[in-house]
Amino acid sequence: MTQPLVVKVGGSTLGSHDTALEDIAALHAAGRRIIVVHGGGNTGTEWLKIHDIANEFVDGLRVTNADAIDVVTAVFAGLVNKQLVADLRGLGAPAFGLCGVDGGLLETRQLDQRLGFVGEVSAVDARPLETLLDAGYLPVIGPVGFWQDGDKTRLMNVNADTVAGEVAAAVGAAALVFLTDVAYVRDGSGDNLQELRPAEVEGLIAGGAASGGMIPKLRAGARAAEAGVGCSIIDGREAHALRRVLDGVELGTRVTV
């Protein structure tokens, strides 16, 4: 059985002009096994504002207090997830929506008390994904996990890039592709990086070349690469960028050992 492709999509690239979902549906129809991980930070921000809950980020991670986790779960595991599933099914793909709580997929622990209910992944149970893939479905994962905090099981906000990297490593993915809104990762001089080693990631972060949402993306790419999964960070706004990079066109930045 061929190893799956993991694709991370986010609100920064999805839109009326975007071809990512069209590419995913076409690849699945052609026989590729695909797992989609999605973000949706912009939608989350809008709904937090509606509920008058502060938006604050630290190193690209959303601070998530007790009020925010309810909204985050409703938006990421609900609204955004189900809209993506509906869109993919409209394109003929048998999408199946779930989040990291379902089937015990993403066990987490609290990353930092300052961040509140933000989890770092401590274990991935890939069995639900393997079951869905074997049945011909296209899993679509919303970035909410669980934390077994003593006798309480808590919902946790998990960065979607982190989820993608951990899932890719756990399933031994054929490749991991991040669809983002920049053409390349850049070094400290502002030059485009076509290739990046995992050992170089922390230097880019410490030097300020990588900041904000690029930080978890690079760390997730390094995690996947160290597990033997080739990773590409590409501009998802380009027409058919996903299919092109899988066809061997040199796009964006590759993270590889």
Per-residue pLDDT at 11 exceeds 80: no
Average pLDDT over residues 41-49: 90
The single residue listed with the structure tokens 């986010």 is: 10
Per-residue pLDDT at 17 exceeds 70: no
Percent of the chain with pLDDT over 70: 97
pLDDT digits (tens, 9 = 90+) for 72-93: 999 999 999 999 999 999 999 9
- Per-residue pLDDT band for 51 (boundaries 50, 70, 90) equals very high
pLDDT digits (tens, 9 = 90+) for 218-239: 999 999 999 999 999 999 988 9
Q: Which of 206, 169, 204, 172 is nearest to 189 (CA)?
A: 204
Number of domains in the chain: 1
- Per-residue pLDDT band for 38 (boundaries 50, 70, 90) equals very high
What is the domain extent for residue 239? Answer: 5-255
Per-residue pLDDT at 127 exceeds 60: yes
Per-residue pLDDT at 190 exceeds 90: no
Average pLDDT over residues 65-73: 94
Per-residue pLDDT at 16 exceeds 60: no
Q: From the CB of residue 38, how many other CB atoms can be counted at a distance below 10 Å? A: 24
CATH number, domain at 175? Answer: 3.40.1160.10
Helix, strand or coil for residue 185? strand
Residue 171 in tokens: 């399933």
User: Which pLDDT score is estimated for 55?
Assistant: 86
User: Which pLDDT score is estimated for 58?
Assistant: 84
- Cite the active site residues: 8, 11, 41, 161, 217
User: Which pLDDT score is estimated for 75?
Assistant: 95
Per-residue pLDDT at 120 exceeds 70: yes
Average pLDDT over residues 184-211: 91
Average pLDDT over residues 124-129: 98
d(CA 165, CA 215): 13
d(CA 160, CA 137): 20
